[in-house]
Structure 1
Amino acid sequence: MSTPLLIDLVWLPHGEGLALPAQQTAGAAGMDLTAAIPEGTDLVLPPGHRALVPCGFAMALPIGFEGQVRPRSGLAVKFGITVLNAPGTIDADYRGEVMVPLINLGQDDFIVRRGDRIAQMVIAPVIAAGFVVKDQLDETERGSNGFGSTGHR
């Protein structure tokens, strides 16, 4: 088993007492993010509406990594709740509060309460890249054929 990447995290006052982001099983890739809304306050997300949900912490990702914020599959399938810009990126130089832009694509109101697991975050390496301007690109079988060009559904 490999040594986990340790990430510095600071609780904000409204996040204190919540669970740390964590994988729920040994083989899980994502760490659950929880809602840091006030205790006893419901955030009602009607169908078609969106909200930026605070998670109550800031973190310092090491350079060369990003946090990818993704939907939780159970919320997506059961209720139509997803992350608006999935996957959202948290850059290594960002030090603000981690927040999740949720949208309700379902047919019923969705209620978010303090501590609810609302999304998952995957920590992933980032490759530094640059571009080289050329007069033309190498040939491939696909060429410039785009969306749907392979004939598969």
Structure 2
Amino acid sequence: MEVKVINKSKNKLPEYATSGSAGCDLMADFSSADNIMAHNSFITWNNDKTIIESITIRPGGRALIPTNLFTAIPEGYEVQVRSRSGSAIKKGVFCLNSPGTIDSDFRNGWGVILANFGSENFEIKQGDRIAQAILNKVEPIAWKEVENLDITDRGLGGFGSTDTKSPNITAKEILEDNIESKSKNKSKSK
């Protein structure tokens, strides 16, 4: 699908690494320092402080890394921004707000929020691949207010309620189970 793009970065347009790749690689671009935000991170400048050479995210830190891509995504679509699996497993660096959404009516430059959950500093240089972009169709929700919902096998089961290895149990059930276990242990010891 064709997506209109203005590339104000020093990088080439995002590309797919292989013919089977679902996401294309987004690259960091520091040609403009206007839209960089960071927490627990630091910027390395060139000698005359006119060009950003890198941004380093400390462990526990986060930064908004610009791509300087401006797009007109077709209506009815979004672009999802996702973590790169290699950065996630090897360095503990993830896209926050993942997947991030770029709406069809957004016209500002794309930015990627990266967070360092690793134990070492993570340095990002000009042109580094920082995330993946995936185009998705979006269906608008047509809310229908009702008095009752269909009954299902799951019912009101909460998070983890379908996990057979660790079923959801209440604090009361845990206490009752502990009381029963203690009673059984006391009767065995007599």
TM score, norm. by length of structure 1: 0.92
Alpha-carbon distance in structure 2 between the residues aligned to 1:152 and 1:79: 32
Letter in 1 for 2:86: G
CA distance in 1, matches of 2:155, 2:136: 30
- Which amino acid in the other structure matches residue 94 of structure 1? F
Greater RCO between the two (CA within 8 Å, min separation 6)?
1
- Deviation, 1:30, is 0.4
- The runs of 5 or more residues in structure 2 that have no matched partner are 32-50, 166-190
SS in structure 1 at match of 2:150: coil
Q: How many residues align?
A: 146
Greater share of residues in helix: 2
Task: Tell me if 1:105 matches 2:117.
Answer: yes
Q: Which residue of 2 aligns with 1:11?
A: 7
Deviation at 1:80?
Answer: 0.5
Q: Hey, what does 2:26 align to over in structure 1?
A: 33
Classify the secondary structure of the residue corresponding to 2:63: strand
Q: How far apart are residue 150 of structure 1 and its match? A: 1.1
Shift of 1:56: 1.3
Match of 2:136 in 1: 124
Identity over aligned residues, as a percent? 40
Which has the larger Rg?
2
Q: Tell me, in whole angstroms, the C-alpha distance in 2 between the residues paired with 1:126 and 1:68.
A: 11
Q: Deviations over 1:86-128 (max 9, x none)?
A: 0000000000000000000000001000000000010000012
TM-score (norm 2): 0.74
Which amino acid in structure 2 is aligned with residue 35 of structure 1? A
Note the C-alpha offset of 1:144.
Answer: 1.1
Point out where structure 1 has 5 or more consecutive residues left out of the alignment. none
Look up the SS of the partner of 2:110 in the other structure.
strand
RMSD (Å) for aligned C-alpha atoms: 1.2
The residue that corresponds to 1:49 in the other structure is 61
